[in-house]
Amino acid sequence: MRHWIIANGASLNETPLHLLKSEITWGMNRIHKHYDKTSWRPTYYLMVDFNQQNPKDYWKECIKAHWNTKKYLWDGFRNGDKGYPDLGEGMGEVPATTWIPRCKKHHYYMADNWKRAESWHLPEICTAFSGIGAVMQLAVQKGATEIYIVGADLYEPDYRKNFFIEDYTGDYRPRDKMDNENMTQVHRVARRSSPAPIYNATIGGKLEVHPRVNVLDVLNG
């Protein structure tokens, strides 16, 4: 049973997502900003990310766009964890949702006071691996026997070129080699931890951890 993970890189504009409508797919974060360009919608949705400029509006926008989609959300969104605004204010009970805790053992970034994970620790989801890292773990828990990734481009120095739309977050912080090293580490850990093989079906991009495949070749068998 194959699962497709739809990341949010600029290459998504060249990816034939409509061909994945009958596949099991995962969307993340602000993927709904791409819905005006495609009839595809994800089977599952995940958000463990937050926008520091305007977190409450960002969270509500993302969740309302996936109100009836089966979704996985960081439980900090409903309890105001670490002082962030509580997503639940004024929204009531969010349907079709599994709440997952943020990993307290590890951190996404390399830093002196954080331990960066070297492997998954299922059944607990290690959200320290960023959205795409968490989704890969969830796909395995859902029974994926093959995992295909599209839209995983890695970062360009000009942040506006890193997503399928320029104003993806409103955060134009320049990305550097460390950002790409952190994200590449997410995929290295996934490759050695996942019992299901992972393939990179991204068009272009800089990620070279997983074997490269073509979307059309996979779908045509």
Q: What is the pLDDT of residues 140-169, one digit of tens each?
A: 999 999 999 999 887 666 666 667 676 666
Type of residue at 204: G
Structural domain count of the chain: 1
pLDDT band at 218 (very low <50, low <70, confident <90, very high): very high
Q: What is the pLDDT of residues 85-110, one digit of tens each?
A: 455 555 667 889 998 887 777 765 55
Cβ count within 10 A of residue 159: 17
85 upstream amide cis, omega within 30 of 0 = no
Arithmetic mean of pLDDT, 170-183: 65
User: Is pLDDT above 70 for 30?
Assistant: yes
Q: Which residues pair with 47 in a beta bridge?
A: 73
CATH of the domain at 64: 3.90.1480
Task: Select the more confidently predicted residue: 19 or 29.
Answer: 19
Q: Which domain holds residue 50?
A: 2-219
